[in-house]
Amino acid sequence: MYTMQVRKEGFFKSGELRLLPVTLFLFLTFYLPVTVLLLKGLQTDAGWSFDWLREMAGSPYYRRIFTFTLSQAFLSTILSLILGLPGGWILAHLDFPGKKIIKAMTTIPFILPSILVVLGFILFWGRQGVVNAVLMSLTGADKPVLDVLYSFKAILLAHVFYNFPIALRLIGAWWEGLGDNQHQAARLLGASERRIFRTITLPQLMPGIISAGTLIFLYCFMSFAVVLVLGGGPRYSTMEVEVYRLIKYSLDFGRGGALALIETAATLFLTWFYIRRENRTIHRESMRRQKMHWREISLRTKVLVSLYFLVILFIIFGPILTVMIQSFLEQTTRSAPPVLSLRWYREMIHSPGSFRGSSARLLAESLRNSLFLGFSTLALALLIGSYASWILARFPLKFPQLTETMIMMPMGVSSVVLGMGYLWLLRGGRMGAVPAMASIVLAHTVIALPFVMRALTPAMKRIRQDLLDASRLMGAGGIRQFLTVELPLVKPGLISGGAFALAISLGEINATLILSDAGVSTIPIAIYNLIGNYKFYSACALGTVLILICMAAFALIDAFEGWEN
């Protein structure tokens, strides 16, 4: 067999040597900048020391930041699980008209960049937002009824909006695989539904709940844009935001590196815990559950299900539709009522010589820069990811799990930490004369690479060995076999991985915000700046473009994943 022949060729023709280009790329673009930044937390003017770490451990200010980071992530996770659990039950137990559409709609928050969530929440839940406007007209109040923004409540609400689809999808998939044999047996023995859930269903469901909760906690722990904008200031600062402030504005690489070291240790542990649990349960035996049709359920259940999805759709589409509708509005003066207009979209496609103002220039440049960065990231991530996936699937490795984990490591490191590492190397001239755009493309590629690998590696491993042997007998071996036989067979994975890379690059703000001080503006950075300048209509136009691109990208993922399965 082909694999046995490769094993006899020795180490120098094994997977380790063939992975050398990928290893070198990750060393220069990920491990080096992250390690350099983290080591700054162990250095003082006197040399190597734990002084920065000891200072943070003894400082009430930093202890409050640690506590707040953990508490907001924990509460956001609990609320996301509570909101997602009923939806998981509905998806696992019921068949009803429009179920696929509803299921697709619940994924919309998760595919949106965080800065769009921030923009939508400001316009929908803000003091002058849609919700307060409706409540003031209904109650006759002369001032806003709800005061949500720039508070702990706003952070929790945005995190729940952003992450409850994870709970809904993962718990629903797990619940569906439990089967209903034990449930039916317990009912025959006279157990009530509440007792069955407490003693049978919940213990079986707990691994899925823990996996979903761990992933949600990790995302909330590393949340940046939501806390930076909706938190309203240092009072609600998290470790992620504090690292950004210490290094970006105070240039305090010592304290910033120490805080980044603590944060990275925590996120890597959470990532390891999640991957370990996922690997334990990925091969579990799934049972087929008999679903109830909409006609068979009681009127009370129909009402509760309908109310649940009405609330969900209100939470999801309220902020999103507000962004999209306001992108078609314009105020000619501050006191004039808004009127319908396509001004913001026209300004995006203006030629450089026809700009009428700084706002138009910002819109057009941001759109062009984002598209350039997005397609550059897509090309580079697919090139590196497809080659690495091919090596992992076809060639022997001494430590295959360790090697794959090292390639996937960027998933467990904050993009703020990655960006700060780049910033340190750039400011000291240690990366040479690297243009800002090139550094952002490299950062985006590192962030997107694990997602591309997750789309491609399983597809590569599923290719039948007899097809590979037949192609070798016909003279198509090595790279030629990879290009002419294997890549066409993993086309759905390529398209899914490319869509992930494009969407991640277009929506990435953390590392981009850190590296954009050279004047590079992208769609998320422009939205962030426009929000700060209260130019919400133009921010909404950019946001709508980003929403449509992200939705199109993930529609491709769903379509081709379904075709592949």
* Closest by Cα among 148, 112, 111, 108 to 128: 148
pLDDT tens readout for residues 436-472:
788 899 999 999 998 898 888 888 887 777 676 677 7
Q: Strand locations in 294-347, DSSP E?
A: 329-330, 339-340
> Are the CB atoms for 473 and 405 separated by under 8 Å?
no
pLDDT at 555 over 80: no
pLDDT at 312 over 70: yes
Q: What is the mean pLDDT of the chain?
A: 81
Q: Residue 533 — φ and ψ, nearest 5°?
A: -100, 10
- What the chain holds in terms of domains, given with CATH numbers, is 109-285 (1.10.3720.10)
The residue type of 40 is: K
Per-residue pLDDT at 128: 85
pLDDT tens readout for residues 533-547:
888 888 898 889 888
Per-residue pLDDT at 5: 43
pLDDT tens readout for residues 117-136:
888 888 998 888 889 989 89
pLDDT tens readout for residues 237-278:
899 999 988 888 888 888 888 999 999 888 888 887 777 766
Mean pLDDT along residues 199-207: 83
DSSP track, 303-317: HHHHHHHHHHHHHHH
DSSP state of 201: I
Tokens (6 digits) for 4: 């046995």
Would you tell me how many other CB atoms lie within 10 Å of the CB of residue 333? 6
The residue type of 163 is: N
Per-residue pLDDT at 172: 84
Could you give the CA distance from residue 88 to residue 248 in angstroms, rounded to a whole number? 41
Question: Of the ranges 8-22, 240-254, 520-534, which one carries the lowest mean pLDDT score?
Answer: 8-22
Per-residue pLDDT at 334: 72
Tokens (6 digits) for 505: 């690059």
Q: Which residues contact 139 (CB under 8 A, 6 or more apart)?
A: 145
pLDDT tens readout for residues 131-175:
998 989 888 888 888 888 888 988 999 999 888 888 888 888 888
CB burial class (10 A; 0-12, 13-18, 19+) of residue 133? middle
Q: Which residues contact 164 (CB under 8 A, 6 or more apart)?
A: 79, 80, 83, 84, 87, 109
Specify the pTM: 0.79
Q: Strand locations in 42-173, DSSP E?
A: 43-44, 47-48, 94-95
* Closest by Cα among 212, 348, 330, 254 to 45: 254
Work out the pLDDT band at 357, boundaries 50, 70, 90.
Answer: low
Mean pLDDT along residues 27-33: 92
- Calculate Rg over the CA atoms of the chain: 25
pLDDT at 9 over 50: no
